[in-house]
Each structure stands twice: as C-alpha cells, then as structure tokens.
Structure 1
Amino acid sequence: MKNFLFIACLCVVSFANAQAFKGKGDQKFQIGASFQDNGTGITGTYDFGAGENISFGLASTYLLGVNDNLDANFEDRFDLKARFNANLSSVIGINEFDIYPGLNFSLKNFGAHVGARYFFSEGFGIYSEINFPIARYNTDNLSLEEELNNQFVFNIGASFNI
C-alpha cells in the first residue's frame, strides 16, 4: 500500500504542468488558516502580477479563535495589508513552484513575509507563508489583545489562479 501511494504521488507531481507565477497580468487568490500566539483564524490574499517577477496585492486576516482569557474586539481580531512580492519562480527555474519574499503595510505594522506556493494543476495549488512585523505603529507596551495580528504569523491553505 505504501508503494502504491508513493507511486501515485510521484505521478501527480510529475504530470503537473501548472505555472506558479506567469508574470504581468497574473492573478492569484489564496485562502487559508492563520496561526499565531493566542489566536487562530482565516486569511485571504489577492496578488496581481505587475511585471515578470513583481506582484502587488491585498491580504486580510480575521481571528476566529482567540484565547479565552483575552477580551479581543473586532479591531484586535481584524487586519488588512497592502503587499508587494518578488516572485522567484522564473529565477529558480521551477514553473510549478514559486517562492515569494515581500513587504506589507498593514493596519497594525510595517512587516515582511516569505511564502511558497505549488500548483498541482493550472488552477489549483497550495501555499504556506510566514509574516512578521518589522516596525509596529504603536511602540508602547502592547497588551495581549494588541499583540494579535502584530506578531509572527504562520499561514497555510489553498491557492487559485483567477
């Protein structure tokens, strides 16, 4: 059974002809789960290709599950980001796989992210991304509620070509 699963996975990967980032005019939508200290939620991103290796977009996160001892309101749970990516699929020479470092300006901070996406078919793939703040807008000692969406975040989910 293990050999069968291994061969099936190998076939799926070897027959994949999808391209992770096509350059100017390419559009990606991603939806996934967001994990951070004291909360988990849902995240969505939209990226638009502006050049061969450059994309701009938006990202939003809403924390559905917050630690019970926190009194987090909507402002603490929600974040919206404008983002810039350097898409490196053509640089590394693997069309199905894209690594994209980037910068983001959110409602909470100026930060950076590093992500990777892999497409199984022309329209569907998976992605994983880490986000971290570089400079917080509020430099005071932050409460645990204010730390939400203002710290290291791990995202994983599905990616779609539009």
Structure 2
Amino acid sequence: MKKITTLVLLLTVGLINAQAFKGKGDTKINIGANIQEGGSGIQGSADFGLGENFSFGFVTSYLLGVNEYSGFYGSTQYYGEKPDFKDRFDAKFRINANLGSVINVDEKLDVYPGLSLGLKNFGGHLGGRYFFTEGFGVFTELGFPIAKYGNDDKLFYNLNNQFTFSLGASFNL
C-alpha cells in the first residue's frame, strides 16, 4: 500500500508542472457557466496564442434559464414573455493581453484583460486561468459592454448587454 501511495504522489507532483500561457501557438478552451441578471447559461471560448503575451479568440454564450417577463415595457404590456433564440445567443471575437508572465506570480496562473467585438456589443473582459496539470485548469471571467448595438426598445435587449460573470473548466490543447 505504501508503494502505491508513493507512486500516486510522484505521478501527481509530476503532473502539476503546468504553465498557464505559453505564447505563440498555445491554444486554450474554456467551458463554463455564465451568470448575469435575468438569466444564466453556458459559455464556451477558444483562445489562440499569437505572441508571448497576446492571443485572439472567440467566445459564445447561450442563456438557458431566463426569467419570464410580465408587465409593461415602454407602453406595451407583456404576459409570460420568453426570449427567442436570437435574444439568448451571443458570439464575439476577442483579443487578450496575457499577463501571467508579466506579473510573474505563478507560472500556472494567467490573468488576461481584453476587448471583444460581438453580435450585441463592443465590450471588455478581465479573466484568469489557473492550471492544476498540463491540460486541465479552471477559469473565471468578468465581462462588460462598452458600446451597445441595436434598439433598446426591444424587450430582451439587455440580456446580452450587461455585466456577466463566468466560471468553469479550462483545457490546454
């Protein structure tokens, strides 16, 4: 039993040699929960390293649990209204400044502020990834709109035009 425990410990310590962002050619995939006012859903993103501290990527989100709306919005009365697919879905192109090697706290940690251009708005985000092993870690992101598109008279206009919080798993490919 001692030999098995020792072997498992050695393998675990060997796997912990993870690095959060390696630079050019690095690929990260994030899958997690998206939490915001009026609904919650799923978020998926992919980031591709272009340089030592720069990456680009794509992020998409879909709101699963959305509150029904009953009441007046503007001069129109609604009862039990639910958003359509186009109101729940959002996709964005984004760029990140990967600062893990700059702040030099831990090579397993990457902090990345960035900008995004999406279907609903132009926005920003601040995220962080921590890798436990070479291929697996966790991430969290805060997103916010800077400039919103469209007509704010629409009932579900603010679903993808507000502050968001995301957390989940991160994978190194």
Superposition TM-score, scaled by structure 1 size: 0.88
Gaps of 5+ in 1: 1-11
Instruction: State the percentage of identical aligned residues.
Output: 58
Larger Rg: 2
User: Which residue matches 2:83?
Assistant: 72
Q: Alpha-carbon deviation of 1:143?
A: 4.0
User: Which residue matches 2:109?
Assistant: 97
Gaps of 5+ in 2: 1-11, 70-80
Q: Alpha-carbon deviation of 1:149?
A: 1.0
User: Which residue matches 1:8?
Assistant: none
Structure 1 CA distance, aligned partners of 2:68 and 2:161? Answer: 19
Structure 2 CA distance, aligned partners of 1:144 and 1:54? Answer: 37
Structure 1 CA distance, aligned partners of 2:152 and 2:147? Answer: 14
User: Which residue matches 1:114?
Assistant: 126
Residues 59-116 of structure 1, C-alpha deviation per residue, up to 9 Å, x if partnerless?
A: 0000010002242001100000000000001101121000000000010000000000
Q: Which amino acid aligns with 1:158?
A: A
User: Which residue of the other structure, out of 86, 93, 97, is the alignment partner of 1:86?
Assistant: 97
Structure 1 CA distance, aligned partners of 2:155 and 2:34? Answer: 17
* Aligned-pair Cα RMSD in Å: 1.5
Structure 2 CA distance, aligned partners of 1:81 and 1:90? Answer: 26
SS in 2 for 1:50: strand
Count of residues paired in the alignment: 149
User: Which residue of the other structure, out of 132, 135, 158, is the alignment partner of 2:144?
Assistant: 132
Residues 113-135 of structure 1, C-alpha deviation per residue, up to 9 Å, x if partnerless?
A: 00001000000000000100000
Does 2:51 correspond to 1:51? yes
Does 2:36 correspond to 1:25? no
Does 2:52 correspond to 1:40? no
SS in 1 for 2:133: coil
SS in 2 for 1:76: helix
Superposition TM-score, scaled by structure 2 size: 0.82
